[in-house]
Amino acid sequence: MSFIKNYIKKKKQNYIIYKQNKKLNLYTKFIRSQVMFCGTGLKSFGTVEIQFPENISIGNNCKINSNVLLNGRSGITIGDNVTLSHGVKLISTGYDIEHWMKTGERVHIYDKPIEIGNNCWIGADAIILPGVKITGEFVVIGAGAVVTKDITESRVLVAGNPAKTVKRYDKEFQE
């Protein structure tokens, strides 16, 4: 039960660190109880860091793997059947660089939520930056990709830094 003590300490700082244990169902229930909305069928494996959980919605049948970071400061919406692989980072806030260059003061940029549509697979260590909307279905984000712009196409593989479409699965998987 040390995770509860850890949670109580960290809650004051408005984030939660969730660590793997043999009782994965208990921890999945814990994540479900913290986020704004969570559909049925969530499975989580390993360490998950959730910042600003009150701004995070998770759809049905999602999988969250170890070392995932969900920074929900400006909001995160995850659709149904989404997999977040090891080390994925969803970061919904950043700094106003122009303001910092002029004044030397770091000011957070808000109102740039992240939206991930249904049936997406985010590969290991991929980073989704503020304001990105993945509205296409069956989108695969390659391992290590840095997604800076919206992805509107369905059935695509997106990879690289910055991420861009590298393959389309237009007719190969349609019934």
Strands 48-51 and 15-18: antiparallel
**pLDDT tens for the 175 residues of the chain, in order:** 444 444 444 444 455 554 544 445 666 777 788 889 999 999 988 778 999 999 999 999 999 998 999 999 999 999 999 999 999 999 999 888 888 888 988 887 767 999 999 999 999 999 999 999 999 999 999 999 999 999 999 999 999 999 999 999 976 555 5
Enumerate residues 6+ apart whose C-beta is below 8 A from 98: none
Enumerate residues 6+ apart whose C-beta is below 8 A from 166: 142, 157, 158, 159, 160
- The pTM for the full model equals 0.82
Domains recognised in the chain with CATH numbers = 2-168 (2.160.10.10)
Q: Residue 141: name the closest of 113, 168, 162, 120 by CA.
A: 120
How many other C-beta atoms lie within 10 A of the C-beta of residue 97? 11
